[in-house]
Amino acid sequence: MNTTPAVLVRDIRTAASNLVTAWPTQKPSFSVRTGWASSYEALFGGEYSVIYNEAEVLTKTLVRGRAILAGRGGDGKTWLLRRLFNQVLEKGDIPLFVDLKQWSGADYDAWQEWTAGDVHDAADFIVRRFTGFGIGTIEFDLLPPRTRKVIFIDGLNEITSKVGSEVLTVVDHLVSSQIGVSVVVADRLIRRELPNPQRWYIGSPLPLTSDEIARHLKSATYIHPSDIRSSPFFLDAELKYGLGGSRRAVALETLIAKHSGLKNGEIECAASGAFDAYKQSRSRTFSRSRFAEVAGNKVLEQLERAGMVRSQPGSNSYFIHHIVHDYLVATYVSRLPEDEWTPSLLRTVSFDASSFDAVELAFETLPDGKADRFLQKLYDWNLYAAGYALAKATETDCAVSKEMRTVIFSMLAEKCFDPILATRQRARDALLLMQLPEATRFRNTSSLGEVCAVVAEVESNVEWFVRWRDVFLGAEHGELTEEFLSEVRSANSIIGWTVANVAKRLRSDERVVAMLVALAKNDQNPTVRWRVAHILGAQPTRQALETLLCLIDEDRDGDVRYGATRSLIELATISTDQLRRDVAEAVRQRAAVFSENDRVARELRASLLVAHDLAPQGWMVFVRDCVRALFSQSEKRADRDLWRGCLNTAEALYQPPSP
């Protein structure tokens, strides 16, 4: 494009008009309201400060220059962004549409190169690669200062959580550094570590109103807000295919069969291809030839003829709506043998815990009993994934037993009193999203004692649950015994992890610590060593410290090293001053190793921020020493900014206010 500002404006607006024309027309078009909250916690709890219609979103939320719209698949976020894009265009301003749904596996390598020196350098890559307008940030900055520029980013959740966070850092900086730039980001309903969070508006699409639904269904029948037809995607499917208000998984199965004409065996082939696409590309786009090889050329051609998959010559293919891709992946996962529901598989289908839609849908497709076991596998991998999977379940369609629901609610409620603030936050988020009525009692507990009291009242004769309940309430005995601790090796992961959690509440002696040390060094099961590392964080002894450092330095399993790193910081909160200084020195010596692993570095940052009432005297000195060590070892500016943000948060938490 010509670099003359006036010509640039003309060319960009022409490209934007062509993009609007190329987008399929949404018929009928549903009126989507959005609720805006003061925080993620308020958003998850449905506590909206204000509700805006579409005409108000741009004028009301972009006064800070940044808005993030978080919702579930099918909530109409993409359609809303496209209509807002057109509003900007019609007002004579400049809109850009960054479509991260087009992200491919190769883009991760490109991103690494662009962010090698400074993550902010990747702004040009984002604009040039994903808008299709043929411009970068240099041309964007040449636009007249009085020109309002709004960047719409769709599909943040289509990429891994780490890269997604870096994209937010890039666009936040772009808004700060260029005149007249605002950004609206569509995301999944998860909490993000927002850069400069006070500058962001946080909102969510609301369920369609009963009046809006009735207007299209031509029916006086009342539609409950939890009915799937309160979602724009499923109301549209109801109008076209008469799917009814059944569960999402059932509706999607019917939709795919009716729309594409695929039979059961062919849907299974499509499911295999859909999963392989996630596994190979780590993105929503995929190689057409590879998909045809796995699913069969006939299956792919039927999906293309039905308009469910779009393929372009010399380009990647992708499903038009990601929820269809997620459903097919969920179908593949739900039909696997249980021993294949591994952490590796769950990370693949959730984009490294960035999007839980495929996990939720897999959970919905499973029958009674098997749903319990899938939830347990989720719990083994990520407690919060189990919480999010259960969040959409209602009393009428939940295939999970009362006993398993109680376990998940209890474990989340217990985490609400964890010393680490981020852990409390994630657990609270998951409980806030729950629709099942019995979750309310756990959500409203104000102490661990109250959680135990609620658990004690749950009646059941199911053997495994009775055993679990006895273990969970084991803290009432006050002391950690070798007999109790031996069950940390249980093959039943729920028992094993519950023992690990409860053990942290109990008093121990030298024999128990010696037993933990022996298990950490000698047990062949990495999950057992991870559980032991978890317990060692509550043992403020030099022997525990040395064992944790040994696990960090020598254990081959990433989860064990991750757990030991977290426990290292937990141990410092209850240690003597000298032992705490030794922990700080250990962190300093391993700063380069910690910095190389994004997952460990992220957990280390979170672990440093403990509840104010649990932070020992002088904690700020410890935090500062750790942060300085990690800051000096971070090569990327974005990583240094994260450590700087951690220190700023700690200072606000622990330093007394100025007189």
Q: Residues of the chain with pLDDT > 70: what percent?
A: 96
Residue 609 has pLDDT above 90, yes or no: yes
- Average pLDDT along the chain: 89
Pick the CATH number of 5-206 from 3.40.50.300, 3.90.76.10, 3.40.50.2300, 3.60.70.12: 3.40.50.300
* Other C-beta atoms lying within 10 Å of the C-beta of residue 142: 14
Q: Residue 609 and residue 591: Cα distance in Å, rounded? A: 18
Residue 2 has pLDDT above 80, yes or no: no
| Phi-psi map region of 655: left, alpha, beta (phi>0 left; psi -120 to 50 alpha) | beta
Residue 132 has pLDDT above 90, yes or no: no
Q: What are phi and psi of 578, to 5 degrees?
A: -65, -45
Q: What is the mean pLDDT of residues 345-374?
A: 86
pLDDT of residue 201: 94
Q: Which residue do the tokens 């109008």 mark?
A: 239
Among 11-25, 188-202, 204-218, 473-487, which is the least confidently predicted range? 473-487
The pLDDT tens digits of the residues spanning 556-607 come to 999 999 999 999 999 999 999 999 999 999 999 999 999 988 889 999 999 9
Q: Residue 120 and residue 283: Cα distance in Å, rounded? A: 22
The pLDDT tens digits of the residues spanning 407-438 come to 999 999 999 999 999 999 989 998 998 888 88
Let me know how long the chain is. Answer: 659
CB 473 within 8 A of CB 467: no
pLDDT of residue 268: 94
The pLDDT tens digits of the residues spanning 625-645 come to 999 999 999 888 778 888 998
Q: Locate all alpha helices (DSSP H) within 574-635, ordered by sequence.
A: 577-589, 591-596, 598-608, 619-633
Contacts of residue 232, Cβ cutoff 8 Å, sequence gap at least 6? 30, 32, 74, 75, 76, 79, 205, 208
Q: Residue 73 and residue 321: Cα distance in Å, rounded? A: 9
Q: What are the structural domain ranges in the chain?
A: 5-206, 544-659
CB 174 within 8 A of CB 151: yes
Cis peptide before 225 (omega within 30 of 0): no
